[in-house]
Structure 1
Amino acid sequence: MMSRTRMRRLAGLGARFLIVGGLSTLIEVGVFNLLYLAFGWDVVWAKVAASLVALVNAYFGNRDWTFRDRGRHTRSLEAMLFLGVNAVCTGLGALLVAAGVWMAENWLVMSPGPILVNVINLASIVVVVLVRFLLYHLIVFRGERDAAPVTPGPASAA
């Protein structure tokens, strides 16, 4: 069983993670609508560009705030791990949505409408957020930061 201190620390970490994710989602939606509606970009390219902008915010927000007390890989390894985790999580989300739509079509014997598709999408987001948090916590931003090395002071005269 986890101690109260550890649970409190993990809850704080989770709250910061959700705040960064919420802000990244708002950025993605805003940039998407700006590119798609204001500038007339193709919907797919607007989605890709908006996702990349939000991903930059998520990386720095999680690195410098959520997991600020964690150990560090080299910057390039950390960025590669971050991108890899996000690629896996994006694929997982797409797989969950496809599976949910398939189940609705085959078990309910009907084509799911927009409301059911959005419910499936929201369920996939919940699962992916939990997986992403665990992967960030265990792989990307893992370990406690090393304590600063202690340098000996001047030797006292004996």
Structure 2
Amino acid sequence: MSQRARWRRIAGLGARFLTVGAISTLIEIGVFNLLYLVFGWDPVSAKVVASLVALVNAYFGNREWTFRHRDRRGRTQEIVLFVLVNAACTALGALLVWAGVEAASAVLGREVGPFIVNGINLVSIVIVVLVRFWLYHSVVFRTAPPKTP
């Protein structure tokens, strides 16, 4: 496969991944704000729960559309890997939100408001999306190893 064809294939995967991710992000932001603003949850707990809710959409969208052509090693193993990767990514996102809120509070000398918390949440989402794509591509929905004759 030529380098150009490889990059075109990766770009197609990336576009489908970002489409699924955009829908999942809207779900995550909606649930996050519902829990944080309406129900008064703390930002880190709201982040964790919102991420987990959005993951349901992410799994099915990525398995059945983005990476549908990839090897299926068995639903159980794939779901276990998906859950482990997303547990790590959820923890990373929560850590980024916590660190960002703490840093912003320290810089401002006061508790931050919803606008800043949502800005920090969006930055955490961008970082986690990049990590998640790499892990989905290389670990969860990886291609089958070449068969030896």
The TM-score normalised by the length of structure 2 is 0.75
Conserved 8 A contact 1:136-1:142: yes
Compute the RMSD of aligned alpha carbons: 3.3
Aligned-pair CA distance for 1:6:
1.4
Conserved 8 A contact 2:51-2:90: no
Q: Distance in 1 between matches of 2:48 and 2:98?
A: 19
Q: Distance in 1 between matches of 2:132 and 2:108?
A: 30
Partner residue in 2 for 1:122: 122
Q: Distance in 1 between matches of 2:131 and 2:62?
A: 15
Q: Distance in 1 between matches of 2:92 and 2:144?
A: 28
Conserved 8 A contact 1:71-1:146: no
Aligned-pair CA distance for 1:4:
1.8
Q: Gapped runs of 5+ residues in structure 2?
A: none
Distance 1:28 1:108, change over 3 A: closer
1:7-49 Cα shifts (integer Å, max 9, x gaps): 111111011011112223445567x59x98xxxxx677x9988
Relative to its length, the structure with more helix (as a share) is 2
Distance 1:56 1:145, change over 3 A: farther
Number of residue pairs matched by the alignment? 140
Answer with 1 or 2: which has the greater Rg: 1
Q: Gapped runs of 5+ residues in structure 1?
A: 37-41, 148-158
Aligned-residue identity in percent: 62
Q: Which amino acid aligns with 2:125?
A: I
The TM-score normalised by the length of structure 1 is 0.71
Superposition map of 1:54-73 within 5 A = 54-73=54-73
Q: Distance in 2 between matches of 1:57 and 1:105?
A: 33
Partner residue in 1 for 2:98: 98
Partner residue in 2 for 1:110: 110
